[in-house]
Homo-oligomer: A and B are copies of this chain.
């Protein structure tokens, strides 16, 4: 199985969702990307349809926004 990508920004909602997702799907199946620290990857997230974090982009390219931590727009400041 290809990996999913979990994008976050270090917010409390993000951290909580990350723990749940890793526990459900398994660490080895998820790449974790901190968009606050790695802003170069924001365009790739946008291309996948990401509008807010935390979000899980599945191997087939669907963006599953999980609860709401921060909008992607706010990470670009």
Residues in chain A within 8 A of chain B (CB atoms): 4, 16-17, 20-21, 23-25, 29, 56, 58, 60, 62-68
Contacts and interface: CB of A to CB of B under 8 A. Distances in A.
B16 A62 contact: yes
Number of copies: 2
**Chain A contact surface mostly:** mixed
Nearest first, the 4 closest Cβ-Cβ pairs linking A and B are A20-B58, A64-B66, A65-B67, A24-B25
A29 B66 CA distance: 19
> Which of A20, A25, A29 has the most chain B CB within a 10 Å cutoff?
A20
Contacts of A63: 67
A12 B1 CA distance: 25
A20 B66 contact: no
